Amino acid sequence: MPGDADSSKGTDDGTSTLQEQLDEMKQAMAELKYMMKNLPVGRGRERSPSRSRSRGSDSDDAISKPKKDNKNHDDRGLKLDIPDFNGDLDPEKFFDWIRQAKRVFEYKEYDEHKQFRVAILKLIKYASLWYENLKKQRKRDKKSKIDTWEKLKKHLIRRFLPRDYEQENYLKLQSLSQENLFLADYVKEFERMTIVCDLEEKEVLRVARFIKGLTPSIATRVEVQNYDGFDDVCRLALMFEKHDKARKSYAYSRGSNLDSSSYSEPEFSKPKEVQIEDPKDKGKTIAMEPKNTSSMRRYFKCQGYGHIANECPQ
């Protein structure tokens, strides 16, 4: 029949008739109803494999790529808090507090306004009173508010740093010398004073000031060497100091060995005076010291000269 022919032809081509498609849809609907009926109470619908895979990939990405807001999630083991500042007038402590605050702000990537808000929370005791008074004074004078870290830092430096601090440190730097310091201590103090004075000078001038402060025995040798910059000069100076220490230690050990030697030069008693009778006055004796003791006989017991054992006066 023509219809059968068409049907068989459609089957041979891998396609299905409309009736077959409807049958397949009914069967799928029946299976879906059965699955929905047998789902446990309280559980949601089962996810399709493709959806599960997509959700799984999203969660994996969330684990492998943390959010930018939580980039410092591993900071809990680090001490990142700024210490309190109570208004101590010690310049070294003040600058330590400034440097610590700067490092924390840079790590946390705070903007200028947040840096200011965090910094004022760390002002305690006299420093806190000073800030409150400064804020009221500026309000009375109708001046703008201090709302950035840089502005606050300028006022802090003006109040808690002695006016002659920079000048005093500059004079100390100009007169700094090694003298009785170890070279490592001299290098450390030289660099500290340079940073405190905030000097911006050429490398050649910095090296010249450093060499000038060295002890003459080291400075004269460093000057005639070929060096390239401040770090190279420090390396040469440390090498010469190490060499001098080793030489002194060797010389000292040699002297100690000689002093502790078992050899000792024998000690001899002074030549004793020789008693002879005066031919002019019998019974009277005169004392004469031998002139050439090297040619005279010496008695081994008393180490005297000019007599033998049976004539020994001892």
259 vs 247, 248, 255, CA distance in Å?
19, 17, 6
Mean pLDDT by 10-residue block, N- to C-terminus, for the chain (314 residues)?
47 61 82 74 49 50 50 61 90 89 92 94 94 94 92 93 83 86 90 81 88 91 89 92 83 59 46 54 55 54 62 64
pLDDT of residue 302: 66
Q: Where on the phi/psi map is residue 179: left (φ > 0), alpha (ψ -120 to 50), or beta?
A: left
pLDDT of residue 161: 86
d(CA 85, CA 93): 9
Angle at 99 between CA 93 and CA 103, to 5 degrees: 145
Q: Which amino acid is at 275?
A: Q
Closest CA to 229 of 198, 256, 207: 207
Ordered DSSP codes for 72-114: TTTGGGS--PPPPB-----HHHHHHHHHHHHHHHHHHT--HHH
In the structure encoding, which two tokens stand for residue 118, read together?
């965090």
Tokens 């017991």 map to which residue? Answer: 301
pLDDT of residue 151: 94
Q: Which amino acid is at 18?
A: L
Per residue in 78-110, is it b (16+ CB within 10 Å) or e — as a string?
eeeebeebebeeebeebbebbeebeebbeeeeb
d(CA 73, CA 147): 28
d(CA 188, CA 197): 14
d(CA 192, CA 196): 6
Identify whether the C-beta of residue 227 lies closer than 8 Å to the C-beta of residue 233.
Answer: yes
Sign of the four-CA dihedral 49, 51, 57, 62: negative
pLDDT of residue 16: 55
Q: Using only the alpha carbons of the chain, give its radius of gyration.
A: 50
pLDDT of residue 306: 60
As a residue count, the chain comes to 314
Identify whether the C-beta of residue 214 lies closer than 8 Å to the C-beta of residue 241.
Answer: no
The residues, any chain, with a CB within 8 Å of residue 124's CB and separated by 6 or more, are 84, 85, 86
Question: What is the maximum span of the chain, computed from C-alpha positions, in angstroms?
Answer: 190
In the structure encoding, which two tokens stand for residue 307, read together?
């007599």
pLDDT of residue 246: 85
Neighbours of 6 (CB within 10 A): 11
pLDDT of residue 126: 94
